[in-house]
Structure 1
Amino acid sequence: MEKITLTVPASRHLNGKALAGVVGSGDMEVLFTADQSQTLTIDITTSVDNSRGRWEALFNRLQTVSNLPAGTLIIHDFGATPGVARIRIEQVFEEVSYA
């Protein structure tokens, strides 16, 4: 197991909490809690060792295509592909934006 913490600039503010996915399904679980800071803090626990570069690339890509919200994102990854990871992350952001 590897633990990774990333911090990226946030460009929007939301309110609330959201959950997407189930780690026990062999996929991943993403929990998001919005706050009023200027950053998005991402705490990742993954079963895939040496994957920091993959996660950094994913969040760099997300920054270029969307406005990341301020808050804390907790990810429990059980080897999900980057595509599934992006879907789960976007799901929690969308759910909170409608809260």
Structure 2
Amino acid sequence: METLHFRFENGRRQLAAQPQLVGVVSSGNLEVLIEPAPLAGGCEIEIRTAANGFGPTWQAVMADFHDRWQLTDTRICINDMGATPAVVSLRLDQAAETMTGGLP
């Protein structure tokens, strides 16, 4: 297992709901826990993944997600069992949409 940490600044969109869990960890999928947190305007993402060595790919997917959603004061925890980048993006978008009530 590998654990990755990312932090993004300068978001502008606040979360409006209680913590949400999206997805299930099983057979090549992942789960995303998203919650509001007092992070001085930051968005922190922790990823626990069974697929070691994909840090640059995760960085690209997380940067793309942050560019789309611009979340602030948000903590996201991802438990991954080998999901593809497309599935990761889908789950993150589902979680963010649930917490913000709309599309990016």
Work out whether the TM-score is over 0.5: yes
The TM-score normalised by the length of structure 1 is 0.88
Unmatched tracts of structure 1, length 5 or more: none
- Give the distance between the partners of 1:70 and 1:22, measured in 2 at CA: 24
CA-to-partner distance for each residue in 1:47-93, whole Å, 9 max, x for gaps? 11011111111122223333234311000011100000000001111
The TM-score normalised by the length of structure 2 is 0.84
- Give the distance between the partners of 2:56 and 2:99, measured in 1 at CA: 27
1:82 corresponds in structure 2 to 85
Unmatched tracts of structure 2, length 5 or more: none
- Give the distance between the partners of 1:93 and 1:65, measured in 2 at CA: 10
What does 1:51-70 correspond to in 2, within 5 Å? 51-70=54-73
Alpha-carbon RMSD: 1.5
Number of aligned pairs? 98
- Give the distance between the partners of 2:68 and 2:14, measured in 1 at CA: 17
1:92 aligns with 2:100: no
